[in-house]
Each structure stands twice: as structure tokens, then as C-alpha cells.
Amino acid sequence: MHLVFATLIFIAVIVVTVIIFGGWVVVTLIRTIARAISGPRTAPVARQVSYGPPLARQQLIRCPQTRCMADNPAGARFCRRCGQAMEAGRVRKVA
């Protein structure tokens, strides 16, 4: 009797697992097809957060990385865009 009960529980667990996995597969396929039909997604527009006066009103340091060349505040130790260590003495004035 215990063997029959254990077998039924085992089969029930397998059935529930198959149903859950099957549902997940179906939902994933539907989402993939819907994304393919709707076309490429556009990236959300990032908001620029400012924690001080605008960069145009303060001295700036240009990043030494030739691919970056981002403007950073004069007291910055690292570039805000690429993370490169900033060199002292690279201050440039902005009107």
C-alpha cells in the first residue's frame, strides 16, 4: 500500500513539474514571437543627474583617454564616463 501511495505522489510531482515547465516554455515562446513581430525596442532616454553647478561654469579636466575625452570637474580623480584616472594639470577653461 505504501508503494502505491509513494508511486502516485511521485507521478503527481512529475505531472506538476511538466505542467509548470510547459507553461514557462509556452509563455517564453509567445513573448519571443511578440518581440520579433513588434520590431526592435528603443532604449529608454537616460536622465542626466547633476550634483553641482553646470559644467560650463566651472573649470574642467579633459579625460586623458583618447577614446573618451569627456569633460570632468577640476577636482575629479577619475573620469565620470570611462573611469580612467585623471592627471593633474589638464585643466581647461570653459566660457
40-86 tens-digit pLDDT: 777 666 676 666 666 555 678 888 888 888 888 878 888 889 988 88
Domain that holds residue 65: 56-95
Spatial separation of the C-alpha atoms in residues 95 and 5, rounded to whole Å: 83
In terms of domains, do 94 and 63 share one?
Answer: yes
C-alpha distances (whole Å) from 37 to each of 29, 32, 56 are 12, 9, 45
Task: Give a yes or no: residue 50 inside a domain.
Answer: no
Number of H helices, E strands in the chain: 1, 3
Task: Give the pLDDT confidence score for residue 25 in this predicted structure.
Answer: 96
Task: Give the pLDDT confidence score for residue 43 in this predicted structure.
Answer: 67
How many domains, in total, are found in the chain? 2
Q: How far apart are the first and last CA of the chain?
A: 89
